Amino acid sequence: MPRSMTRIALLLLLVASCLSGCPSLSERAGLPPSVDRATQLETSGDQLGAARVYEQLAAQNSGTERNDLLLRAGRDYLAAHRAEDATRVLGLTAGTLSPEQRTEQALLGAEAALERGQAQDAARQLGSIAEPRAPAQAVRYRDLKARITAALAHAPPPPGPEGESGPHIALLLPVTGRAATPAISVRDGFMTAYYQSPAADRPRVRVYDTGTQSVAEALALAQRQGAAFIVGPLTREEVVAAADFPGTRAPLLALNFLPAEHVAPQRFYQDALSPEDEARLAARRILEDHHRHGVALVPAGDWGTRVLAAFRQELTAGGGDLIGTAQFDTARTDYSGPITEVLRISDSVARYKRLESVLGTKLQFEPRRRGDVEFIFAPAQASIERLLRPQLRFHYAGDIPTYATSDAFEPELHANDDLDGLMFPDMPWMLGGDLADAVRSVTHEAWPNGGPYRGRLFAFGFDAFRLAQALRRQGVAGSVSVDGLTGRLSIDSERRVRRELGWAQLHNGEVRLLPAAAQ
């Protein structure tokens, strides 16, 4: 089919989708969210897709129906081994739940806790309800009770005596409250690294829950109990509070960065999975790939603004030129306006219309993008990137080298088919490597049925333990270098952790590692 006819056919499809309320250009997300659609996905074995449809539907409803849809989403997230997402949607329920809904919430909550390897929490949640009368729920209740009992029987001993003072690593995390889900992933990774280290090298570890006490209270208690090193806290607000702590404290590895204007105290190290750092990596990679002039498309809002600023600064410092930028609204699914603006396709259309008006006749016309674009920087979350990338191809930009951050990639079957050609940096835990393979093997043996969700924050927690050990051994005067799950780690002159990442490109939905760029 000629190129112009292909474009016309695609345009007609796009118009039809808009008229029907289609939320996406991709085939998978092309149908509007409905219970029937979710049921179809469940039947086909795509529980993750069904969970997302139920969550979309819940956002469009209220009251009892909204709660019911969230519970269905939680059930399917668990079936897809996404305990973090299940916990998140269960936390979105509001108002008065019916007795059946309360029972379902407790069952799902206990199952999510067990999936994360938290048998005590699972037992507590299951103990909050009596055995259900409904036959299906009663079967699930008895099965969960048996699994929890088995998990408690085989649970490893705690990493340190709770009531005894002495040198130890204090792990400050909000394991309860609104930040519990990411905190639990970090803790699970930290303790996995702990148990993988030789027994003779394991320090005592105590977890201080900053969800039930302030950071200042946790630091003061850790100091009284003899903490020799502190890891955490996790959120930006908590890290600021830790930096402002007035009392004496042990060396501390914060699991987030302080704001740029906030001066870090002595013996205060900072580590974070920073999208701004990845934006700088992308700028350097673009320059190393011998591209100088390009455009950026970023989500509107604080995240996109920060990422774009970091990218622009690094690109300009290296001699590159950002010749166009545009922001797009992630609440929408059609990004044609910002795309045609930044690629100047709208200028091409305007010239065509003016020429037709002058000549007074219809002309054959195919819009053209600007010809001086050597690269596109298009960072976004994975669900957004799967909408953005096809639209770039539709608007004549599919052949332009396109770079993103690791947020664009989710290692799920069939999730990345629409991202063909996209390049991004990511950690060894996601891209593979000897250490990552070894840790996955060990965790699979420990949790053959899945266990806790092990995403990037799990790897972040794993590396936090290894960093803490390295810093304890070498002290403030020594240089630190750690091969971790999140990259090759070092400490810069400002006591911030820097990580070297690998690069990958998606081909037909599969990840291919890219060689190091030519210097």
The token pair at 422 is 């996209």
pLDDT at 427: 97
Task: Name every residue whose Cβ is closer than 8 Å to that of residue 376 and which is 6 or more positions away in sequence.
Answer: 294, 295, 296, 297, 392, 397, 400, 401, 402, 403
Domain 275-427+504-513: CATH superfamily is Response regulator (3.40.50.2300)
Considering the segment(s) 22-153 as one domain, its CATH architecture is Alpha Horseshoe (1.25)
Instruction: Determine the pLDDT at residue 208.
Output: 92
Contacts of 500 by beta carbon, 8 Å cutoff, 6+ apart: 487, 488
pLDDT at residue 476, rounded to an integer: 52
pLDDT at 351: 54
pLDDT for residue 15? 36
| Parts of the chain belonging to CATH 3.40.50.2300 | 162-270+433-498, 275-427+504-513
Q: What is the pLDDT of residue 388?
A: 95
- Say what the pLDDT of residue 24 is: 33
The two tokens of residue 492 are 């810069």
| Residue ranges for the chain with pLDDT beneath 50 | 1-31, 156-163, 352, 363, 365
Cite the beta strand spans of 232-315 per DSSP E: 252-254, 268-270, 293-299
What pLDDT, on the 0 to 100 scale, is given for residue 17?
39
pLDDT at 25: 32
Which pTM was predicted? 0.69
Q: How far is CA 25 from the centre of its chain?
A: 23
How would you label 274-311 residue by residue, b for 16+ Cβ within 10 Å and e otherwise?
Answer: bbbbbbbbbbbbbbebebeebbbbbbeeebbeebbebb
CATH code at 162-270+433-498: 3.40.50.2300
